[in-house]
Amino acid sequence: MTTPLRLALVQMNIIAGDPEANFAAMEAKLEEAAALVPKPDLIALPEMWNTGYALTDIQKLADPDGDRTKATISAFCGKHGINVLAGSIAQLRGSAVTNTVHVFDRSGKVVAEYSKIHLFQLMNEHLHLEAGAETGRFELDGVPAGTMICYDIRFPELARSLALGGARIVFVPAEWPHPRLHHWRTLLQARAIENQMYVVSINTVGESGGASFFGHSMVIDPWGEVIAEAPEEETILVADIDLSLVEEVRGRIPVFADRKPALYDL
Ligand SMILES: O=C(O)CCC(=O)C(=O)O
């Protein structure tokens, strides 16, 4: 990617259990983001945007092999020449359902697929979904990056492993509810500060299954500053980021050179 890099984060209201409505809303929002001037380099979507947390019906609602998602978003990327981190979807794989992010380059090619490693027991994910077994590293326009999903931010080892693998930006699609705004903000900032990288989160808004999703999608720079933050309503959050700040911050406080991995009992 060229520097600065323009990001457009689609903070949307997901209708639980209604993939038709969510696909229509997602396509309209991608077109809205593509019409921004200047055009974004990358558009990102939130977690489980196709089905929301309709977990008891997830087997019949999930996208078989992600085919509909891949066809729709790949065509969009090819038409507009924009990278898309397609949040996550409920994806049917044989008899299992995973919570999976697909990353598309400007030509519409899928360059990465990541399934959520840490399933969130408080919302019964472990009863309905199968956990992923690989981390989410990729490169877009030559920039090494990574993705995690929602609850994954509570595991600093995962963000560290992406940073050690070279990531300069980590994306976090989420469906994170009240009353844990304090945890959301603090954990996202901590992951950015300790790894001296950009952390870009894309949350949802609205109500579903007794949970209220608060938005506050954020772009946090490698110094831990929140450089853009969405309100609690639907919005497309736009931010221009300067990747040279990653090297500048890493040069100022040499955290990676000062690590003592041999002493950590991990
Ligand atoms: O960790 C949390 O508090 C929220 C996580 C969550 O909602 C999720 O992973 O879907």
Which atom of ligand 1 is nearest the CA belonging to 152? 9
Q: How many CB atoms lie within 10 A of CB 132?
A: 20
> Which percentage of the chain shows pLDDT scores above 70?
99
State the average pLDDT over residues 221-245: 98
User: Has residue 264 been placed in a domain?
Assistant: no
State the average pLDDT over residues 15-32: 98
Has 175 been annotated as catalytic?
no
User: Has residue 89 been placed in a domain?
Assistant: yes
Listed residue (102, 100, 98, 99) closest to 83, CA to CA: 102
Domain that holds residue 234: 5-252
**Dist. CA 166–CA 135, nearest whole Å:** 13
What distance in angstroms lies between residue 79's CA and the mean position of ligand 1's atoms? 34
**Dist. CA 174–CA 200, nearest whole Å:** 11
State the average pLDDT over residues 222-247: 98
Buried b (16+ CB within 10 A) or exposed e, 167-205: bbbbbbbbbbbeeeeeebbebbbbbbbebbbbbbbbbbb
State the average pLDDT over residues 232-238: 98
pLDDT confidence of residue 40: 98
User: Has residue 17 been placed in a domain?
Assistant: yes
Q: What is the mean pLDDT of the chain?
A: 97
Phi and psi angles of residue 200, each rounded to the nearest 5 degrees, phi first: -125, 110
Overall number of domains in the chain: 1
User: Has residue 261 been placed in a domain?
Assistant: no
Q: How many CB atoms lie within 10 A of CB 234?
A: 16
Kindly indicate the confidence band of residue 250, based on its pLDDT and cuts at 50, 70 and 90.
Answer: very high
Site residues for ligand 1, CB cut-off 6 Å? 120, 123, 150-151, 154, 175-176, 180, 183
Residue whose CA lies nearest to ligand 1 atom number 2: 151
State the average pLDDT over residues 222-238: 98
Q: How many CB atoms lie within 10 A of CB 149?
A: 28
Enter the tokens of residue 180.
């844990």
Buried b (16+ CB within 10 A) or exposed e, 10-21: bbbbbbbbbbee
State the average pLDDT over residues 132-161: 98
Residue corresponding to tokens 């027991």? 121
User: Has residue 265 been placed in a domain?
Assistant: no
pLDDT confidence of residue 3: 63
User: Has residue 258 been placed in a domain?
Assistant: no
Listed residue (60, 212, 201, 62) closest to 123, CA to CA: 212
What distance in angstroms lies between residue 150's CA and the mean position of ligand 1's atoms? 5
**Dist. CA 49–CA 217, nearest whole Å:** 15
Decide: helix, strand or coil at residue 110: strand
Q: Is 2 a residue whose pLDDT tops 80?
A: no
Q: Is 1 a residue whose pLDDT tops 70?
A: no
User: Has residue 263 been placed in a domain?
Assistant: no
What distance in angstroms lies between residue 175's CA and the mean position of ligand 1's atoms? 7
- Give 193's DSSP letter: H
Residue 126's domain is classified under what CATH number? 3.60.110.10
Q: Kindly report, residue by residue over 48-93, the tens digit of the pLDDT.
A: 999 999 999 999 999 999 999 999 999 999 999 999 999 999 999 9
pLDDT confidence of residue 258: 98
User: Has residue 188 been placed in a domain?
Assistant: yes
